[in-house]
Structures are given as C-alpha cells and as structure tokens.
Amino acid sequence: MKHLSLKNRLRFFRSCLLLFFLFSLVGCIERQPVRGLAVNAIFLDRVLTDDLVTRLKVKYITTSVFQPFGRDYRVVAEATWQNKILFRENLEPDLPPIKWQASRVYEVEKYLYLPAVIDPFNPKMVSGLKIEFKIRLENGSGAEPITLYSRKIKLLPRPAEAPDVVFLDGWKKVSPVSAASGSPPGEYWTGERAVCLMKNTGRPAILMIKGKNYSEQVTVSLYLEEGLFDEFTLGPGEFLKIYPVGPFPLATDPELRLAIAVDKTIPLNQIYPDSGENSQVGLKIEKVYFR
C-alpha cells in the first residue's frame, strides 16, 4: 500500500467501498422473508381513527427470481396494540399463495374494522396511539409465521361528530347479573326483529354489523328504511357483515331505520345456564356501525 500513489490509493479505497456496498446490498436481498416477493399495502382512508371501517388495498408482486411455495399458506393481516389483537383477517387474493408464479401481481382489497381503543377522557391517549400492523404467511403447522409486511400505524381518536347508532325497539339488554360470570356488561341481543336508528349524513356510508349466533342455523333478514337489502343464513359463531350504502336524500330521510330480523329464537338461559332469564333472543350484536 505504501508504494501506491495518492491517486491509486483513492481509487483502491473507492473500489473497497463499492465492493462493501454491493456485498451489503446482496446480503439485504438474501435476508428478505421471501426472495422475489414484494408487498405494497395502502389504506384508502388517509387519516385512520379508532372505531373506523376502512378499505385496505394490497398488491403481492413477484419478480423473476420468485420460487413458488412448496407448501400451502394463508395470508393473514393482523393489528395489535399492547399485545392485544385489534383485528385478524384473511387477506389473500382469489389465487392462493401456493399457486403464485414469478413475474406476477396479485391484488386484494378488503374492508377492515379498527375497533374503539382510545379513551377520549385519558389525556395520554387523546393525541392518538400507534398500533402494529403486519401481513403474514401462516401454514397452520405451528411453524413461526413469515412476516411479509410490517409497519406502525398512527390511530387518532374517533371524530366527535361521528354519528351514533340508537337501539330502539326489539332489543334485549343482558346485564352482568343475569348473564354468566365473566360476560361483558351491556350485551345487546335481538328478538325476532330489532330496530336501530341511524343519522343520515347525506353521503355514501359504510354499514357494518358484527355479532355472534348461538343457534345451529338462523336466517337473517336486514331491512333499511323498510326495504329488504340482504338476507343470509348463519351457522354458530361470530359473523361480520360490511356494506357500502347510500347516499340517501336528506330532505326525506334525516334519520334511517335498520331492522335485523331472524327466523328463529332461543331462550337466553340456554346460552347462559346460570341465568334465570328465559326471554327469547336471536343474535348477540356487538357493533352496529354507520359512518
């Protein structure tokens, strides 16, 4: 090195730096979770709040070096805050990952619900909070999931002017006293037909109904302003229905009525055996959202 001129020394060091950069770059590429696969995720709402239904658009982009998966995976989107799962949703396109090929783009668009987690009376939370959002590959074998995409998301508090949903006729409110121990307070159950009142904003809106069915099978009919707009059959378990609706004319419909009707009911003490309440109930409704 001491026999090299200053010019040659500079050239030598530049070459070393270039080689170091190239080796580092190759190392970064090799450390990608899945070689030849990039993920682009965009929330269509520019400002995200809690208690919000938003749309997520995801592109899975494979390059020429992508190797098809040798096992079956499902794609899952998950958001967490303080180790609590806020939502967990299937997020794979029509073609499952095991059929993905090189040099392709696979797209999926889905509604997601960001639940209410911000206490508006807590000074530490009114400025918002950050949640962890991930898109992962899981294969159900117990192996560690492969994280394809990860980012922190800032959630702001739900706007104060966001309309509330008022529960009118046909509801059964179950208190902790009449329900089994450990059940959350203020559960709302439908009877044969339960009605909500929602403020009409005059704009297109999202209607979401989230709940749980305890019957073997039940047919659910949804009416908006007395017109039937959906009917479906549920088996036991949780359900989530999301619909884009409206706009509705403000002059004639300043408030909108949503009716949830079921074709069968069961006694409440069949669900909560320790309860002496035998009222007939249909669905447990955790959330009716209209915004």
- Write the CB contacts of 209 (distance below 8 Å, at least 6 apart in sequence): 222, 239, 240, 241, 260, 285, 287, 288, 289
| 174 closest CA partner among 240, 272, 263 | 272
Tell me the CA distances in angstroms from 221 to 106, 121, 217, 233, one per residue in order. 34, 38, 13, 9
User: Across the 291 residues of the chain, what is the mean pLDDT of every consecutive 10-residue run?
Assistant: 53 50 36 85 95 96 95 94 93 94 97 93 90 93 88 93 91 68 72 95 93 96 93 96 91 89 94 84 96 91
Structure pTM?
0.80
* H-helix or E-strand spanning residue 22: helix 6-30
> What's residue 152's pLDDT?
96
DSSP 8-state assignment for residue 287: E
* Structure tokens given for 128: 């918002």
CA–CA separation, 53 and 45 (whole Å): 9
Tell me the CA distances in angstroms from 201 to 206, 251, 281, one per residue in order. 11, 11, 31
Parse the chain into domains and list their residue ranges.
37-155, 165-290
Tell me the CA distances in angstroms from 281 to 146, 158, 187, 239, one per residue in order. 42, 31, 12, 17
> What's residue 24's pLDDT?
38
The CATH H-level superfamily of 165-290 is: Galactose-binding domain-like (2.60.120.260)
> What's residue 23's pLDDT?
39
* Structure tokens given for 107: 């797209």
Q: Is there a contact between 206 and 275 (Cβ–Cβ < 8 Å)? A: no
Strands, sheet with 84-90, edge to edge from the N-terminal-most edge strand: 84-90, 74-81, 129-138, 146-155
Q: Is there a contact between 48 and 156 (Cβ–Cβ < 8 Å)? A: yes
> What's residue 181's pLDDT?
47
Q: Tell me if domain 37-155 and domain 165-290 are identical in fold.
A: no
Q: Is there a contact between 190 and 155 (Cβ–Cβ < 8 Å)? A: no
> What's residue 277's pLDDT?
79
Q: Is there a contact between 51 and 115 (Cβ–Cβ < 8 Å)? A: yes
The CATH H-level superfamily of 37-155 is: Macroglobulin (MG2) domain (2.60.40.1930)
